[in-house]
Amino acid sequence: MKSMSEYDFELNKICKIINEKKYRKIMVQIPEGLKIYHEKIVSTIENGTDAVVILSGEPCYGACDINEGDADFLVHFGHSMITEPGIPYFFAECRSNIDVLKVVEKSEGYLEKNVGVLTTVQHINKIGEIKDILEKKGKNVFVGKGGKRIRYPGQVLGCDFSSALSIMDKVDCYLYVGTGNFHPLGVSIATKKKVIAADPYSNEISGLEGLKEKILRQRYAAIEKAKQGERFGIVVGGKTGQKRLGTAEKLKEMLEKNGKNAHLISLNEIKPEYLLYLNYDCFVCTACPRIAIDDYSMYEKPVLTPVEIEILLGKRRFEDYVFDQIE
């Protein structure tokens, strides 16, 4: 298990702000990967202040998911801000102090000459170090600036690959430093370039080609299955940064013009059991783009992304497949 000391939770700073501003009700959001530390986090804030802490119990996968409740201060751990909350807030981005040197050096042999560097907010302070290591090895290194949902150059989200796309013309390949496959996979599909993932925890280097082919086959199958469908349920997310009602309404219109029935469904948490009793042949998810992909095998009916509906209706070729992104 990772240790709590590996991350900077900034608890002293948080207590100081709460005491100075005399906040009384603190909502605390912790992403799933760090939730094991919830007791220590809540206790430290309660012991260091006069405030009552309310831990947000629902799973939290990103800064798109803001739960203010009835608190007067929000502390959101593990993500950088995307949209400003409606109450005073602090985003504790939880930088990791794990060493990236070793795995980046190890990645060298897999990389081309011109490399785009990408990582998550946990390692974003290591971007300079990563760049230096690679440049010393003779690489040309590029760090792209992302769109408005991206806080730091080189940062990538599971639903936003803009920092990779912005340097697409300059690089032959990308190096993603971090854990998990989804981010580099999205970059691979979005850019059609080689992507190498370097995991500083396991010290493993991996290519994405095999997984990419597997996921694309699954997506193709889901689209084909959905083509038989007559009735489409379009899911609209309820979370602050996942609401795309406009997209949902456009999809509804597009489907109806093509002779399909389409209804809108609002959901905060999207779960198989909520869709099970809704009588549609296929669902389209306009909330978190990862649900359709990551949870593929959990759903009985096909769940498509908005991009995939374009393919289904013949408005986009499968060869031009990209992951859904929130803009």
- CB of 31 or CB of 147, closer to a second copy: 31
Q: Are 155 and 163 in contact (CB under 8 A)?
A: yes
- CB of 48 or CB of 147, closer to a second copy: 48
- CB of 161 or CB of 280, closer to a second copy: 280
- CB of 9 or CB of 176, closer to a second copy: 9
The two three-digit tokens of residue 265, written as one number: 């469904």
What's the closest the beta carbon of residue 291 comes to a second copy, in angstroms? 13
- How many residues touch a second copy (CB under 8 A)? 42
What's the closest the beta carbon of residue 274 comes to a second copy, in angstroms? 5
Q: Are 176 and 119 in contact (CB under 8 A)?
A: yes
Q: Are 238 and 61 in contact (CB under 8 A)?
A: no
- CB of 59 or CB of 128, closer to a second copy: 59
Write the interaction track for a second copy spanning residues 63-92; mark x where CB under 8 A is met and - where it is not.
----x-xx----------------------
Cα 156 to Cα 101: distance, rounded to the nearest angstrom = 20
Site for a second copy in 227-286 (CB under 8 A): 231, 235-236, 238, 243, 245, 249, 252, 261, 263-270, 274-275, 277-279
The two three-digit tokens of residue 300, written as one number: 């009985």
Is there binding between residue 2 and a second copy (CB under 8 A)?
no
What's the closest the beta carbon of residue 182 comes to a second copy, in angstroms? 21
Residue reference for tokens 């095999």: 210
The two three-digit tokens of residue 261, written as one number: 């029935």
Q: Are 42 and 252 in contact (CB under 8 A)?
A: no
Site for a second copy in 20-59 (CB under 8 A): 27, 32, 35-36, 38-39, 42-43, 46, 52-59
Cα 134 to Cα 94: distance, rounded to the nearest angstrom = 25
Calculate the alpha carbon distances from 223 to 158, 284, 295, 306, 311 in Å.
21, 11, 15, 11, 8
Q: How many CA atoms lie within 13 A of 64 on its CB side?
A: 25
Residues within the interface to a second copy (CB under 8 A): 27, 32, 35-36, 38-39, 42-43, 46, 52-59, 67, 69-70, 231, 235-236, 238, 243, 245, 249, 252, 261, 263-270, 274-275, 277-279
